[in-house]
Each structure stands twice: as structure tokens, then as C-alpha cells.
Structure 1
Amino acid sequence: MPDAPLTQAHTPQVAPRPSACPGLWRIVSARDGGICRIKLAGGLLLADQADAVATAAERFASGVIEATNRGNLQIRGIGSDHQGLVEALLAAGLGPRDAAGDDVRNLMLSPLAGRDPAMLLDARPLAGQILDLLEGTPRFHQLSAKFAVQLDAGERLAMLEHPHDLWLSALPLEQQAWLAFGLAGCPADGQVLGAVPLEQGLMLVRAVLERFLDLATPAQSRMRQLLEVCSPSDFIDGLGLVIRRDAAVLGWRREAYDAPWLGVLPQAQGLALGVAPPQGRLTPTMLRGAARVARELGDGSLRLSPWQSLVLTNIQAQAVAQAQAALSDLGLLCHAHEPLARISACTGSSGCAKALGETKADAATLAALLGPGAPGSVHLSGCPRSCAVAHVAPATLLARSPGRYDLYLRDARQPGFGALRATDLTLNEAGAMLDLPTEHLDD
């Protein structure tokens, strides 16, 4: 059986607060129509809910559904019947108990939380408690819609590079489970600030959020902004908790696995399948088809991942080939060697007024010019905001005019996209420069 959703919904009579970020109730205008963001508890989407999203996208919008880089879904091209769309999604259990709690449901887990063979603990019980805390505490509804928390349980399949305002990572100490944590960063950056026993994890999250709201000004909506005027050590000293900060904690580094996110994925029991819609965009037919495969050959659920992909869990070994064939027939990418699997792109100028290039179409053109390589190695961005990817990609093509891009290669010594390697490239020129072994892009 699939996991139950971590929260249950009912229709609230509360207007969403003002924000530039889309939410379930707050439909934000874009060049191609309205955008509604559906935040999924732990990335979990039941098959029936997937069908409801597909139907809502057809009935109330243009049929464009996007997987986001934080494990959520967006419906684009929404028409005038906002209330009808919202009511359809709420009826499928895709909202929180209270409209005011929608914005703060920003908790990232591994798409294989509770199932990954390398996990040190099952993150789902604590994740449910954190989501209840965020949704059920009126003061925490003041947090920015972008304020985000990550709970990492040591899984092989884990996004370790996305920055979070607070991150927690499982740490074994003296045969007990602890949670190392950091602020305004990610597990990959190595900036561990302390640790608490696992049973104090919820207490730590509450204390961090309360202290942030105590100290932050209205202009300091993110942790990184607060830490510009308050040192991490001063912040921690005021939490009112006993924080372990010895060498065993501060010197610990999260082990990073070179784990694929497409194809057959190992579980503690059984197998999972990772598949991706090209450039993160699902059609209603794709989403319904994936839900059908999950019902017939899996456990009836999908998990959205921070790679803008889907994970189908509990697939029997003898059904893997059948499932992959069905998913591939839908147009989903099932293998890392597929050219489009290594390219991501923002919405582009057809949907966003800030974009200087039609990045989605250009990404499809570029994919045909590239040889085989690692997935997710190139990102096309229509403007410097670099939407659709939360971390710096190994290679970024930044649009400067339609069909022309500047090429940056990631460089830890330089901020932003990294080192500028070439300017005003055509797609053919960019393809020639990028058709290199992946290790060259990472230099």
C-alpha cells in the first residue's frame, strides 16, 4: 500500500497572503496565464491525486504541468476560474488544513525516504511532525514562502546541493542517531554548526524558527540575510538548547553517493523506478499514465524529486521492463544516457516576461547536438535568476538574446554561475563547446 499523505485538507475560508510566489490558493500571473503551485508533503503524490491534477490542468488551464526542483508540482496557463481549480485540488487532498499554512510547507526529503538502502533512519515520522508544526503554528505562517527546511536521513538518493534556511542530516554518534544541522546552506557544503539527538529534532526546528522570527527584520526574509548581521554562533547560543559542538560533530562530513536518479533504483526491499518528463514538463497524458503504471505495477504512489523527476516505488523485479516500456511510450525519460536527461531549462520567454530566450525549445535543439553525458549537466536560463534549478549547474547557458547565450562553467572559487567561458554563442557553437566529457565541465 502507498504511504498516506502526511496532512489532510479541507476547504478553508481564509484569503492567501500577498506574495510573488505561487501557492495553492494564490494564482500568480505569468505571460502564459496563471500559475498554481501544489506543495506535496514529502514529495508524495497518490495515483488518484495525480489523476486529479491532470484533470484540473485540462479543465482549468492549458494542460501544462511542471515538476519543480523542490519536489512539488505547478499548473501553468490557468484561466479565469481560479476557484474551480482550487476546489478541485482541495477535493483531492492536495492542500493543507489551513490556507495560512500553505506557504510554509517547504520541507525536502529524499524521494526514497523510508526506503533507501543506505538510510540511517526513516525520516518520515519526524517529517510529519515538522509539517504539522509548520502548518499548525500561526506564528510560523509569517515565514517567507521561500523559507525552506531539509531533512536528510543519509539516503543514497538525496539532493545535497540545494541551499536551505535550515538543514538537518542524520549522524551516527556512539551507536545513537543524532541530527547534524546547518543554516543557510546545504549538507554538501560541510558547514556543520552542531548536532542534537534525534528525539530533539522537532524541538530544534521549533527553536530555530522562533529565534529567526525574533531576530529578523521584515527585510530579512531568509536565514542568509539574518546571518549577515548575526553570526551563526550567536544565533545558536540563543536557541535555549544544549547543542553538541565537539570535533566529532563539527568535523563530520555527509558522505555523497554518485547515485543515479533515473532508471532502476534500489530500495531496502524491492525496486523503484526514476523517470523524468523532458525539461520538467508533464502533459496530463503523461501524469495519468505514470499513475496507471504506479497502480498496476507499483504501490499506487509517485514521489516528486528535486531533479524534476518522478519516482515509482515498490516495483517488482519481474515488472520493471514492462513498467519502463510503458513509461517510455508516454514520452518520459527512463535512462540517464538520453540526451534530454542532461539538460534543464527555465520557462523561457513564452511564459516569462523576464526571459530573453525561448529556453525550453532551445534546450530540445541543444540536446540533439550533445553526445552522451551525465544527467542534469547543462542548464539554460532566460535571465540571471536561474529559475528551475536551485543549485549551480556544472554548465549554465545564460540567454542574452533570442537564440544567443553566454556559457558559464561552475567554479567553486567564483560566485554565481561560475567562470564565464564564452559569450554570444549560437546553439550550434554552444553544443560544440559542451560536447565534452562531464569531468571537463566540472573543472
Structure 2
Amino acid sequence: MPPDKAGIIPRLYPSTGSPVNPTPAVNTLRPSACPGLLRIVQALDGGICRIKLAGGSITAAQAIAVADAAQAYAGGVIEATNRANLQIRGIGTEQDALIALLLAADLGPNNAGGDDVRNLMLSPSAGIDPQMLFDTRPLAEQILATLQNHPRFHELSAKFAVQLDGCEALAMLEHHHDVWLSAFERDGETLLAFGLAGCPGLDAPCAAVPLEQGHALVVAVLELFLDLATPTQTRMRHLAVDNLLSRLNLPLLPVDGFKRPVSGAGLHLGTYPQRQKDLFYVGAVAPLGRLDSTMLKGVAQLASAFGDGTLRFTPWQGVLLPNVKKPAAVTEGLQRLGFLCSVDQPLARLIACTGSSGCGKGLADTKADALQLAALQPGTEVHLSGCPRSCAAAHTAPVTLLAVSPGHYDVYFREAAEPGFGRLHARTLSIEAAGALLRARSRSNTDD
């Protein structure tokens, strides 16, 4: 659907086709280097559209709409991101038609200003995890509605992000967020510990609030951030946390007893029982985060045939199918589509950015190099980054290969005392040399 003469793309309800909440076209949005659904950002391989999913969740019908949009108006490349969103790459001149198709599938914000700020991460197993202390989805829905509908919050950076953790066994605890909330129990009561500019897996919380105060806390923190931040202070890490906390007009509780259990390694791959009796979830990853339309339509069909008609994307650049009764059939279907379902597959442990094939800042073709490295059986989790921006990984991997020229990388090993990628171990190694180094290291050292 093209824009009308006023530059407006009508948003349609899929069921009725009735226009609702007209959305300004792409060129009326605020400038930003971050793609959104309404703002297509250009790269070497064409435009990029980022589809922000509420809690990573999407219906099978919506997934098919994404696949159709990628096939009809782009190069067919779909990416699962490390924030549990989807991206379409290679968009050509018909970007307005692509946006209209996605809006008609109810994949956009309810107003144009709210597109950038829908950055709220949940566990992919929210509501179904046997270890969870509460179902985070109702609170998440309330927070997302406020982020979209409170005009002042549209001033937040497109990178400003919130995490809501229900203490699920399956959780990404290493991605840093501007505000994080993590559930814990004390004296029989579920409380929310919270922290600023960090993550529940690595950082101590600032304080706690009762569960029913979670929404009010987020609103108060964001209001204070916007009160105190200068135009150049776009993220929570730019502010003095103590200064913000001292002005927070909410009754805060001590965090005695908070200790976030370690997330279960590898729980995003394979089959696991849910809290609901006789139901399972099945997790898989897309090779190097890349899908095509056939893969996305296929996994949507599996969700409809064997699950509840929904699928959840994960911060491990993969997908999870919930509420499955016959997991073996789902696993077989995922493997047939090209998804990776076991941590024993080397490619399932590799992360790579777009690289020089699609990004002007990439110094090496990281996707192709990662395929070559996987064949060399590196024996550990490796992140290949085409430049220091680390777009593909929001956490520090055990091993990072940082490109310095085509086919050559500096090698870093993660160390708690070292910032950034960790300790520089070797310079300008070829993929073959890096593979030999990592194989030798995995045989001699089991510590990350």
C-alpha cells in the first residue's frame, strides 16, 4: 500500500482492513542510525527493516507475513537478532509496500513515535518455564504500552533498553540493559530487584520493590532519566546512578537475599519440559542468525501443526516453539528446514555479524569465514566481528575474532578483569591459524 498524498501510510487491522492510527511515512521520523519498522536504513546490500517483537513472540500468520515481505520486496534475507527481534535485509525501492504489509499484520507500533522505544527483553520461556517465579508477560505488556503511548518516552534513544527477568532457567543474563528488573523471593514474597546500566547475571542490584510496583518503578526511572540527562547523555551508563536513585520518589526495599541463579547452559537448543503438564518447548538456532523465507514459513507451519500457533525468537539468534506435545516431530522438521538443534553442532556455537558483504564498516566477510571456522571444529563459542562495534553480540563471548583485514583476525579471550572483548592473545591470524589455536586451547583448557 503506497502512502497517500499527505505522506501517511494507513495502518490496517488485518481482520477488517479498516484504517486506524495513521502512521507517518519513513522520512518524517526522527534521524537515527538504527533501523526500525518505519525507518529503513541503507547498507551495502540494500535497506534494513527491524521488526521489534513483543517479548520475542510472533504468531505463525505474522511470521508468514514477514517471509512474504522479504520475498516480495527485499532480497529474501531475514535475520534473527540478539535482542530477539527480526530484520529484513536487501530492501529495494518498494519499501513503502513492505512497511504497509508488515503494519497490516499488526507487527508495528500503535503510533509512529513508539516504534523506536519498544525495547523490552523477556526470557524466551516466559510463562512456561518451570523455574519462573511469575509470568512476566502481563507486566511486560503494561510496560510496552506505556513506552509506546507516553509521548515523552519517545525521546529515549532507539538503543535504550529494559529487561524483565522472572528468574526463568532459560534467560540471557549477559546482555547489558539501561534498566533491568529481576524477580526473587524473600519471606514468601516475590520482589523485583532492579539495576541500572547492567544486567542481572553480572551486576549487583540497586534496590528492590514489591512485584506490584514494577510498572511504577520503570515509569519513575525513565522520567527521572529524561529529567537529568543532557542531549549527549543517551544511555543510563552516562548518568551517575546515585544521583538518580536519591531522587526516586518510590519506597525502595533492601536486596538482602537476592542472588540470580545461573541460567541453564544450552537450554535454547533442544527439547525441554514446560511448567504445564505434558507440554514441551523446542529450541533451535538459525545458522549465523540467518533465515530465508522458506525457513520462516516452515517454522510457522510447524508452530501451527504441533504447537499453539506462536513462535518466540531468542537472544541467541534462534527460535523457540512453545506448547508442543510431539517434540520429536518438531525437531525433525526444524532440522529439515536447516535450523541447528544441538550444541554439538559447531556452527550453533558461532556468532558472526553481517561483515563486508553487507556492511561498509566490515573489514572481513565474517559470515563466510565463520562457515570455514565451523568446519575446523573450534570447540568453543566464538564471535566473529567485522569491526569493533560488535553488532552481532551484546555480550562478551568466550572467544572473539576481531577482523583486521579480509580473512585475518585478532584473537581475544574473555577475562573478567579485562574490558571490551577481553585479553588480546594473538594478532592477524588467518582462519586456519585461529582454528588450530582454538582446537589446541579446547583440548588443554576447560576454563573460559
Q: Same fold (TM over 0.5)?
A: yes
Query: What is residue 279 of structure 1 aligned with on the other side?
Result: 288
Structure 2 matches for 1:35-434, cutoff 5 A? 35-226=48-239, 230=240, 232-245=241-254, 249=255, 252-260=258-266, 261-269=268-276, 270-316=279-325, 319-370=326-377, 372-373=379-380, 377-434=381-438
Q: Is the 8 A contact 1:113 1:124 kept in 2?
A: yes
Runs (5+) with no aligned partner, structure 1: 1-8
Runs (5+) with no aligned partner, structure 2: 1-18
Q: Distance in 2 between matches of 1:438 and 1:100?
A: 52
Q: Distance in 2 between matches of 1:219 and 1:148?
A: 17
Q: Is the 8 A contact 1:192 1:250 kept in 2?
A: no
Q: Which amino acid aligns with 1:142?
A: E
Q: Which runs of 4+ in 1 moved over 4 A?
A: none
Q: Distance in 2 between matches of 1:439 and 1:322?
A: 38
Q: Shift of the alpha carbon at 1:350? A: 0.8
* Segment drifting more, 282-291 vs 262-271: 262-271
Count of residues in correspondence between the two structures? 423
Q: Is the 8 A contact 1:339 1:370 kept in 2?
A: yes
Q: Shift of the alpha carbon at 1:371? A: 5.2
Q: Is the 8 A contact 2:82 2:314 kept in 1?
A: yes
Cα offsets for 1:400-442 (capped at 9, x unmatched): 0000111000011111100011111111110011124399375
Q: Distance in 1 between matches of 2:355 and 2:306?
A: 36
Q: Which amino acid aligns with 1:289?
A: G
Q: Is the 8 A contact 1:11 1:90 kept in 2?
A: no
Q: TM-score, normalised by structure 2?
A: 0.92
Q: Which amino acid aligns with 1:91?
A: A
Q: Distance in 1 between matches of 2:317 and 2:435?
A: 23
* Segment drifting more, 400-409 vs 250-259: 250-259
What secondary structure does 2:184 align onto? strand
Cα offsets for 1:184-213 (capped at 9, x unmatched): 000012321000000011100000000000
Q: Distance in 1 between matches of 2:382 and 2:443?
A: 10
Q: Is the 8 A contact 1:156 1:259 kept in 2?
A: no
